[in-house]
């Protein structure tokens, strides 16, 4: 069966520090991968999605970036965090079609101070 991992689970970072969040998927090949951000009590904001290695599409311009160095690895990064980057970051995967059911990881709760 497929599983999706995210780490760390919780992170507290100072403003201006770098960020690296990692997501890995097991049990499937060539998945579509997604990064979402969820502000407290709010909906899901799609940040990036990837249909294959090295292929990244950005939905919202901001100081975040994403990379997919391996088929089942998706990384979210920032060179300098802003206060507004605080939130709950969720990684998700789906089968080939972008409209397929999405399966979410446990998430990383990021607080920028």
Partner 1 sequence: GQQVMQIPQYQHVQEGEDFTTYCNSSTTLSNIQWYKQRPGGHPVFLIQLVKSGEVKKQKRLTFQFGEAKKNSSLHITATQTTDVGTYFCAGPGWNYGGSQGNLIFGKGTKLSVKP
Q: Give all strands of the β-sheet with 73-78 in edge-to-edge order.
A: 3-7, 19-26, 73-78, 64-70
Nearer to partner 1, 17 or 96 (CB): 96
Contact 57/50 with Cβ under 8 angstroms?
yes
Which of 34, 35, 74, 93 is the binder for partner 1 (CB under 8 A)? 34
Residue 53 found at the interface with partner 1 (CB under 8 A): no
Nearer to partner 1, 17 or 98 (CB): 98
Contact 47/57 with Cβ under 8 angstroms?
no
Instruction: Report CA-CA distances (Å) from 3 to 27, 58, 77.
Output: 7, 24, 22
Residue 44 found at the interface with partner 1 (CB under 8 A): yes
Residue 97 found at the interface with partner 1 (CB under 8 A): yes
- How many residues sit close enough to partner 1 to count as binding (CB under 8 A)? 18
Return the residue matching tokens 């995967």. Answer: 93
The residues binding partner 1 (CB under 8 A) are 34, 41-44, 46, 49, 90, 97-99, 101-107
């Amino acid at each position: 069966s497929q599983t999706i991992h995210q780490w760390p689970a919780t992170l507290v970072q100072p403003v201006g520090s770098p960020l690296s969040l990692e997501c890995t998927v097991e049990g499937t090949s060539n998945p579509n991968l997604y990064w979402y951000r969820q502000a407290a009590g709010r909906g899901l904001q799609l940040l990036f999605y990837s249909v294959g290695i090295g292929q990244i599409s950005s939905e919202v311009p901001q100081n975040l970036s994403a990379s997919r160095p391996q088929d089942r690895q998706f990384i979210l990064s920032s060179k300098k965090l802003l206060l507004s980057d605080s939130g709950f970051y969720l990684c998700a995967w789906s089968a080939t079609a972008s409209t397929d059911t999405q399966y979410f990881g446990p998430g990383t709760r990021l607080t920028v101070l």
